[in-house]
């Protein structure tokens, strides 16, 4: 036994240390890729078949081919670019305002007990009111339609960002504060060097979540009060019986929403390279 343990192989083969690289073909044709493509394809195939054979009321729903045809036509026209850019601007406007107000308020609420007592109960009362319910008030208050849609986006994005910022500050390890105080930091140093960077991962999650809800709110706002924009276009397509255009609009809204959320994650990951792993897990846990 002793011999066996202590034996040193007389000759070390180089091949013992070289792992065989997976070939290009096996990278593509493994189980995962095959099933994933099957999944995506089956979505379109089932949709096409249901429409084609007109099961139940699927006769009324446009099929994939029609949608593609109308989509290409729509993309070529000036309307599309107008709609997409106006919707994006409204969402961005509302979202930027929400960030500008929610992040500082959230940081202060998480950090300062007195400020928290003074503001948080009011915000907690306002929070359960869904953004859509603000539409009548927004129409009443803003004479300008752009502003009323942007306001609804603002309300939608505000609370996810605020709550995630507060949680972010609350999750910071107490030891950092104590260490900073031992080393003689002033409150403003603690704020800029501990509270802000410590809450960033959570803020990033909240911002991505808020962006998604802002897109949703913008669609509702445009459907009810608007002249341009993707939500308005969907509703117009419905009233003018251009049904394939509805599906095109839905797809464009989905893509834009996904794109902007991904962009936010990408930017914020640049800001917080040290907590990459943690943000990713937080993302999955908090986002829908």
Q: Does 255 bind another protein (CB under 8 A)?
A: yes
Is 250 among the residues that bind another protein (CB under 8 A)?
yes
CB of 172 to another protein, least distance (A): 21
Among 68, 133, 179, 263, binds another protein (CB under 8 A): 133
Of 176 and 238, which CB lies nearer to another protein in the complex structure? 238
Dist. CA 212–CA 69, nearest whole Å: 28
Looking up tokens 């913008």 gives 218
Site for another protein in 104-123 (CB under 8 A): 113-114, 117-122
CB of 233 to another protein, least distance (A): 10
243 counts as binding another protein under rule CB under 8 A: yes
- Contact criterion met (CB below 8 Å) for 253 and 218: no
Residues 29-88 that bind another protein (CB under 8 A): 31-32, 35-36, 38-40, 42-43, 57-58, 60-61
Q: How far apart are CA 160 and CA 211, in angstroms?
A: 9
Residue keyed to tokens 């998604």:
212
The single residue among 80, 134, 151, 232 that binds another protein, judged by CB under 8 A, is 134
Tell me the C-alpha distance between 135 and 145, whole Å.
11
- Whichever of 94 and 131 has its CB closer to another protein, that residue is 131
- Tell me the closest approach of the beta carbon of residue 284 to another protein, in angstroms: 4
**Calpha distance 14→22 (Å, rounded):** 19
Do 279 and 201 contact (CB within 8 A), yes or no?
yes
Q: Are the C-beta atoms of residues 259 and 194 closer than 8 Å to each other?
A: no
**Counts for the chain of helices (H) and strands (E), in that order:** 14, 0
Question: For binding to another protein (CB under 8 A), which residues are involved?
Answer: 31-32, 35-36, 38-40, 42-43, 57-58, 60-61, 113-114, 117-122, 125-137, 139-141, 212, 215-216, 219-220, 223-224, 231, 234-235, 237-238, 243, 246-247, 249-251, 253-255, 257-258, 281, 284-288
């Amino acid at each position: 036994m002793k011999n066996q343990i202590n034996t040193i192989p007389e000759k070390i083969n180089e091949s013992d240390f070289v792992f065989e690289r997976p070939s290009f073909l096996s990278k593509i044709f493994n189980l995962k890729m095959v099933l994933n493509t099957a999944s995506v394809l089956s979505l379109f195939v089932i949709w096409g078949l249901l429409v084609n054979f007109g099961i139940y009321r699927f006769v009324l729903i446009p099929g994939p081919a029609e949608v593609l045809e109308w989509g290409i036509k729509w993309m070529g026209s000036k309307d599309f670019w107008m709609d997409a850019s106006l919707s994006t601007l409204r969402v961005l406007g509302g979202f930027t305002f929400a960030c500008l107000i929610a992040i500082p308020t959230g940081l202060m609420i998480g950090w300062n007990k007195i400020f928290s007592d003074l503001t948080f109960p009011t915000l907690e009362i306002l929070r359960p009111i869904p953004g859509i319910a603000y539409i009548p008030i927004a129409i009443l208050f803003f004479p300008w339609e752009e502003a009323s849609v942007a306001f609804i986006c603002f309300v939608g994005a505000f609370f996810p960002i605020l709550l995630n910022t507060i949680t972010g500050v609350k999750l910071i390890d107490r030891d950092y504060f104590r260490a900073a105080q031992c080393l003689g930091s002033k409150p403003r140093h603690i704020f800029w060097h501990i509270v802000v960077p410590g809450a960033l991962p959570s803020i990033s999650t909240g911002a991505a979540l808020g962006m998604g809800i802002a897109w949703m709110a913008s669609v509702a706002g445009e459907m009810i009060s608007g002249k341009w924009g993707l939500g308005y276009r969907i509703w117009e397509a419905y009233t003018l019986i251009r049904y394939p255009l509805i599906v095109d609009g839905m797809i464009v809204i989905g893509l834009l929403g996904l794109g902007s959320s991904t962009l936010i994650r990408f930017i914020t990951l640049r800001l917080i390279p040290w907590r990459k792993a943690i943000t990713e897990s937080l993302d999955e846990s908090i986002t829908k």
